[in-house]
Amino acid sequence: MQIMTVKEKVASLREEMKKNNIEAFIVYSADPHMSEYLPDEWQERTWISGFTGSAGFVVVTMDKAGLWTDGRYFTQGPVELEGSGIDLFKDGVEGTPNYVDWIISQTSENAKVAVNALATSNANWEKVKTKLESKGCELVDKPLLKNIWTDRGTESRNPVFVHPIERAGQSVVDKLSAIREKMKEEDATAHIISSLDDVAWTVNLRGSDVDCNPVFLGYVYLSLENAILFVDTDKLEDASKASMKESGVEIQEYNSFFDYLKTLKNETILVSENSNQSIFEAVKENNTLIKKAVPGHLMKAIKNEAELKGFESVMVRDGVAMVNFLHWLTNTVGKEELDEYQIGQKLLDFRKKGKYFVGNSFDSIVGYKGNGAIIHYSAPEKGSSKVSDYGSILIDSGGQYLDGTTDITRTLPLGEVTKEFKEDATRALQGMIRLSMVKFPKGTKGVQLDVLARQALWEVGKDYNHGTGHGVGSFMNVHEGPQSIRKELNDIDLVPGMVLSNEPGYYVEGEYGIRHENLFVVKEWKKTKWNSFYEFETLTYCPFFSSIIVKDLLSQEEIDWLNQYHNACEEKLAPHLKGEVKEWFLEMVKPI
Amino acid sequence: MQIMTVKEKVASLREEMKKNNIEAFIVYSADPHMSEYLPDEWQERTWISGFTGSAGFVVVTMDKAGLWTDGRYFTQGPVELEGSGIDLFKDGVEGTPNYVDWIISQTSENAKVAVNALATSNANWEKVKTKLESKGCELVDKPLLKNIWTDRGTESRNPVFVHPIERAGQSVVDKLSAIREKMKEEDATAHIISSLDDVAWTVNLRGSDVDCNPVFLGYVYLSLENAILFVDTDKLEDASKASMKESGVEIQEYNSFFDYLKTLKNETILVSENSNQSIFEAVKENNTLIKKAVPGHLMKAIKNEAELKGFESVMVRDGVAMVNFLHWLTNTVGKEELDEYQIGQKLLDFRKKGKYFVGNSFDSIVGYKGNGAIIHYSAPEKGSSKVSDYGSILIDSGGQYLDGTTDITRTLPLGEVTKEFKEDATRALQGMIRLSMVKFPKGTKGVQLDVLARQALWEVGKDYNHGTGHGVGSFMNVHEGPQSIRKELNDIDLVPGMVLSNEPGYYVEGEYGIRHENLFVVKEWKKTKWNSFYEFETLTYCPFFSSIIVKDLLSQEEIDWLNQYHNACEEKLAPHLKGEVKEWFLEMVKPI
Contact A425, A456 (CB under 8 A): no
Q: Which residues on B lie below 8 Å from A451 (Cβ)?
A: 438, 440, 448-449, 451-452
Instruction: Name the DSSP letter for residue B160.
Output: B
Q: Do A533 and B455 touch (CB under 8 A)?
A: no
pLDDT interval class at A155 (50, 70, 90) = low
Best residue in B451, B494, B531 for a mutation probing chain A (most A CBs within 10 Å): B451
pLDDT interval class at A156 (50, 70, 90) = low
Q: Do A458 and B445 touch (CB under 8 A)?
A: no
Residues 6+ apart with CB under 8 A from B306: B165, B166, B167, B168, B169, B170
- B197 touching A, CB under 8 A? no
Q: How far is A17 from chain B (nearest CA, A)?
A: 32
ipTM: 0.91
Task: Find the range with the poorest average confidence among A134-138, A555-559, B302-306, B469-473.
Answer: A134-138
Can you list the positions of beta strands (E) in A297-434? 338-339, 357-360, 365-368, 386-387, 392-397, 399-401, 404-405, 408-413
How confident is the model over B543-555, as a mean pLDDT?
96
Q: Which residues on A lie below 8 Å from B530 (Cβ)?
A: 461-463
Angle at B230 between CA B225 and CA B234, to 5 degrees: 130
Q: What is the rounded distance in angstroms from the CA atom of residue A31 to the CA atom of residue A44?
A: 9
Whole-number average pLDDT of chain B: 95
Instruction: Give the percent of chain B with pLDDT over 90.
Output: 89
- A440 touching B, CB under 8 A? yes
The CB-side HSE value for A468 (13 A sphere, CA atoms) comes to 29
CA B4 to chain centre: 32
Helix A579-588 and helix A305-332, axial crossing angle in degrees, nearest 10: 100
**A202-258 per-position pLDDT tens digit:** 999 999 988 899 999 999 999 999 999 999 999 999 999 999 999 999 999 999 999
Q: How far is A533 from chain B (nearest CA, A)?
A: 6
Q: What is the rounded distance in angstroms from the CA atom of residue B85 to the CA atom of residue B218?
A: 37
How confident is the model over A134-150, as a mean pLDDT?
92
**B201-224 per-position pLDDT tens digit:** 999 999 998 889 999 999 999 999
Query: Among residues 509-528 of chain A, which lie with CB inside 8 Å of chain B?
Result: 525-526, 528
pLDDT of residue A92: 82
Say yes or no to pLDDT of B560 above 70: yes
10 Å CB burial of residue A41 (0-12, 13-18, 19+) is middle
Q: Which residue of A has its CA nearest to B441?
A: A458
- B493 touching A, CB under 8 A? no
Say yes or no to pLDDT of A32 above 70: yes
- B130 touching A, CB under 8 A? no
- A135 touching B, CB under 8 A? no
The CB-side HSE value for A558 (13 A sphere, CA atoms) comes to 20
Report the 10 Å Cβ neighbour count for B239.
13
Helix A556-573 and helix A419-437, axial crossing angle in degrees, nearest 10: 80
Report the 10 Å Cβ neighbour count for A217.
25
pLDDT of residue B100: 95
SS3 A149: coil
10 Å CB burial of residue A512 (0-12, 13-18, 19+) is buried
Whole-number average pLDDT of chain A: 95
The CB-side HSE value for B25 (13 A sphere, CA atoms) comes to 27
Q: Which residues on B lie below 8 Å from A528 (Cβ)?
A: 461-462
Residues 6+ apart with CB under 8 A from B18: B62
Q: What is the rounded distance in angstroms from the CA atom of residue A200 to the CA atom of residue A223?
A: 18
Q: Do B533 and A461 touch (CB under 8 A)?
A: yes
Provide the number of CB pairs (under 8 Å) joining chain A to chain B.
73
How confident is the model over A170-178, as a mean pLDDT?
98
Query: Among residues 399-418 of chain B, which lie with CB inside 8 Å of chain A?
Result: none
How confident is the model over A283-305, as a mean pLDDT?
97
Instruction: Give the percent of chain A with pLDDT over 70.
Output: 99
Alpha helices in A66-156 (DSSP H): 76-81, 99-106, 122-134
pLDDT of residue A2: 59
Q: Which residues on B lie below 8 Å from A526 (Cβ)?
A: 461
Q: Which residues on A lie below 8 Å from B459 (Cβ)?
A: 439
SS3 A401: strand
Residues 6+ apart with CB under 8 A from A422: A548, A549, A550
Contact B574, B528 (CB under 8 A): no
Contact A121, A277 (CB under 8 A): yes
Best residue in B104, B435, B455 for a mutation probing chain A (most A CBs within 10 Å): B455
Q: How far is A199 from chain B (nearest CA, A)?
A: 31
- A558 touching B, CB under 8 A? no
> Which CA distances in Å does B584 have to A379, B276, B577?
69, 52, 10
Residues 6+ apart with CB under 8 A from A569: A319, A541, A542, A543, A589
Q: Which residues on A lie below 8 Å from B444 (Cβ)?
A: 487
CA B488 to chain centre: 17
Q: Strands of B112-115's sheet, edge to edge?
A: B87-90, B65-69, B57-61, B24-27, B112-115, B138-141
Partner-chain residue, chosen from B448, B458, B489, that has the shortest CB–CB distance to A491: B489
**A117-135 per-position pLDDT tens digit:** 999 999 999 999 999 998 8
Q: What is the rounded distance in angstroms from the CA atom of residue B120 to the CA atom of residue A197?
A: 44
Q: Which residues on B lie below 8 Å from A507 (Cβ)?
A: none
Q: Do A448 and B444 touch (CB under 8 A)?
A: no
Q: Do B440 and A459 touch (CB under 8 A)?
A: no
Contact B504, B468 (CB under 8 A): yes
Q: How far is A91 from chain B (nearest CA, A)?
A: 18
Partner-chain residue, chosen from B438, B461, B531, that has the shortest CB–CB distance to A528: B461
Q: Which residues on B lie below 8 Å from A458 (Cβ)?
A: 438-441, 533
Say yes or no to pLDDT of A16 above 90: yes
Say yes or no to pLDDT of A1 above 70: no
Q: Which residues on B lie below 8 Å from A427 (Cβ)?
A: none
Q: How far is A458 from chain B (nearest CA, A)?
A: 6
Q: How far is A451 from chain B (nearest CA, A)?
A: 6
Q: Which residue of B has its CA nearest to A454?
A: B440
Which residue, among B401, B372, B564, B525, has the nearest Cα to B472 in the 3D structure? Answer: B401
Which residue, among B240, B234, B241, B281, has the nearest Cα to B118 in the 3D structure? Answer: B281
- B137 touching A, CB under 8 A? no
pLDDT of residue B2: 60
How confident is the model over B187-196, as a mean pLDDT?
97
pLDDT of residue A41: 85
Q: Which residues on B lie below 8 Å from A531 (Cβ)?
A: 461, 463
**A182-209 per-position pLDDT tens digit:** 999 999 999 999 999 999 999 999 999 8
The dihedral through the CA atoms of A381, A384, A386, A392 has a sign that is negative
**Which residues share a beta bridge with A537?**
A521
**B366-378 per-position pLDDT tens digit:** 999 999 998 888 8
Instruction: Name the DSSP letter for residue B512.
Output: E
Q: Which residues on B lie below 8 Å from A491 (Cβ)?
A: 489
- B131 touching A, CB under 8 A? no
Q: What is the rounded distance in angstroms from the CA atom of residue B492 to the CA atom of residue B490?
A: 6
pLDDT interval class at B154 (50, 70, 90) = low
Instruction: Give the percent of chain B with pLDDT over 70.
Output: 99
- A92 touching B, CB under 8 A? no
Q: Do A451 and B455 touch (CB under 8 A)?
A: no
Could you please report the per-residue DSSP string of B88-128?
EEETTSTTPPPHHHHHHHHS-TT-EEEE-GGGSBHHHHHHH
pLDDT interval class at A418 (50, 70, 90) = very high
Q: Which residues on A lie below 8 Å from B447 (Cβ)?
A: 445, 447-448, 489
pLDDT interval class at B518 (50, 70, 90) = very high
pLDDT of residue B3: 78
Partner-chain residue, chosen from A441, A450, A528, that has the shortest CB–CB distance to B448: A450
Partner-chain residue, chosen from B491, B530, B531, that has the shortest CB–CB distance to A489: B491
pLDDT of residue B496: 98
Residues 6+ apart with CB under 8 A from B291: B122, B271, B272, B273
Report yes or no on whether pTM surpasses 0.90.
Answer: yes
> Which CA distances in Å does A547 have to A329, A511, A514?
16, 19, 14
- B71 touching A, CB under 8 A? no
* Length of chain A measured in residues: 592
- A390 touching B, CB under 8 A? no
Q: Which residues on A lie below 8 Å from B489 (Cβ)?
A: 445, 447, 489, 491
Q: What is the rounded distance in angstroms from the CA atom of residue A513 to the CA atom of residue A409?
A: 11
Higher pLDDT, A79 or A395: A395
Q: How far is A350 from chain B (nearest CA, A)?
A: 37
**Identity of the residue numbered A568:** A
Alpha helices in A169-304 (DSSP H): 172-185, 196-203, 238-246, 257-262, 277-283, 295-301
**B62-121 per-position pLDDT tens digit:** 999 999 998 878 888 888 999 999 999 998 888 899 999 999 999 998 999 999 999 999
Q: Do A530 and B447 touch (CB under 8 A)?
A: no
Which residue, among B55, B53, B63, B76, has the nearest Cα to B10 in the 3D structure? Answer: B63
Partner-chain residue, chosen from A451, A463, A533, that has the shortest CB–CB distance to B531: A463
Q: Do B455 and A438 touch (CB under 8 A)?
A: yes
How confident is the model over B471-495, as a mean pLDDT?
97
Q: Which residues on B lie below 8 Å from A530 (Cβ)?
A: 461-463
pLDDT of residue B39: 82
**Cα-trace Rg, chain A:** 25
Q: Do B458 and A443 touch (CB under 8 A)?
A: no
Q: Which residues on B lie below 8 Å from A525 (Cβ)?
A: 461
